[in-house]
Structures are given as structure tokens and as C-alpha cells.
Amino acid sequence: MEVALIDSGGANIGSVCYALERLGVRARMTADAAEIQAADRVILPGVGAAAPGMARLQELGLVDVVRALRQPLLGVCLGMQLLFESSEEGDVECLGLLPGRVRKLPPAPGIRVPHMGWNGLQPRRDDPLLAGIAAGEQAYFVHSYAAPVTEHTLATSEHGIEFAAVVRRGHCHGAQFHPERSASVGARLLENFLSGVAA
């Protein structure tokens, strides 16, 4: 299986590569449109802010490439947020593959922003991406902005408010948490993406 890891400039790319290697998959880190289009699976990682993330994809000429993909695509952390229509962070237009606007997590008494650490997942509906992941299992989050809960939300988590933790619309999948830092839950989600979801 050919897995393309889009070289989006995020600091977590190396960690995602190692997580995939532990599953026996060597992903090709690339910004080459032809390689991305030819891959069986595509992963869009990301750490940082939405506006620089979109600017990086624009600079690489990859915005329309990602929008036109038809094979399974997985956005991770910021990469998931970029799948949505827009983000309050930098007031930027994103890829528009999922409806909705990413908004800043509201601070509240006892609630720190950024949301950083382990938190439980609450599945909302069955999906091959969540196979083997039970309600309440913990994943590792680091983010200040969050995607809305919509019909495309597969699992939520809560930090002051409920937000989308795992999403899917057709071939587009996303995880707000870091699978590469989420132990067995993260490994299971990556494994499901690689072999469980329909191509």
C-alpha cells in the first residue's frame, strides 16, 4: 500500500511516520502532487495555526490537489481542522471538504486553553474508522480551536464544550487528537484508516 504523508511543515510529521512504521507501513513524506494523487491513502498532518497551514498548502500548490482527492484522506490535529470550510484562527478559508467553521475553545472556570492532555472519546455512530475503540477510551489532545459537532461527527470529546474529535464525510476522515501520541487508541485508528475504511 502506498501512503502519502503531505509535507505540510508540521512538527508532528516525523512522529506520524514512526507511528505508521510501527504498523508496518512506510509512508512517503511528500509535497509532490503526482505522488499524492497516486497514493492509496493520504494523510494531512499539522501542528500550529490554520492561516500558516493553509498558506503552506497554497505555496506548495496543493489546495486543489487535496480538494480533488478521491482516495481515503485523513487529517490529523490541525490537518483535520483544515478539512472544514473556515477557521476563526486567522479568519481563514480552509479546504471546504467538511461543512462548518472551526472556533476557539471558550475559556471557563477550571478550563484551560489550550486543551492539552488525555481525554475520553464518546462515539456517536458506528464507523469502520472507530472499529475496536470503545466509549470512554482516552486519546491525547493539544489544541486551542475545535471543530463543530455535525452529522459528520463520529466521536466527540469535551473540554468546557463538546467538540468533534473524529469526523468522516465520504472519503474524508479526521482526528483532532494526535494518533501518534495516543498509545493503543491512536494505533487502532491509524490501522483502521489503513485497512478498514473503503477505498
Residue corresponding to grid cell 491525547: 140
Q: What is the pLDDT at residue 199?
A: 64
Alpha-carbon distance 148 to 153, whole Å?
Answer: 8
When pLDDT is cut at 50, 70 and 90, the band that residue 82 belongs to is very high
116-136 pLDDT tens trace: 999 999 999 999 999 999 999
Q: What's the pLDDT tens digit per position in 148-161?
A: 999 999 999 999 99
Is the confidence at residue 138, as pLDDT, over 70? yes
* Residue whose cell numbers read 466509549: 135
Predicted confidence band at 14 (pLDDT cuts at 50, 70, 90)? Answer: confident
Considering the segment(s) 3-196 as one domain, its CATH architecture is: 3-Layer(aba) Sandwich (3.40)
Q: Is the pLDDT of residue 12 over 70?
A: no
Q: What angle do CA 50, 144, 99 make, to 5 degrees?
A: 55
Residue appearing with cell numbers 472556570 = 109
User: E-assigned strands of the chain?
Assistant: 3-6, 28-30, 41-44, 73-76, 84-87, 92-93, 98-104, 115-120, 122-123, 138-143, 145-146, 153-159, 161-169, 172-175
What angle, rounded to 10 degrees, do the helices at 183-191 and 13-22 form?
80
- Range with the poorest average pLDDT among 28-32, 99-103, 154-158: 28-32
Does pLDDT of 107 surpass 90? no
pTM metric for this prediction: 0.96
Residue 37: pLDDT band by 50, 70, 90 thresholds?
very high
Q: What are phi and psi of 31, to 5 degrees?
A: -120, 15
Residue 54 near residue 13, CB atoms below 8 Å: no
Catalytic positions, written as ranges: 77, 178, 180
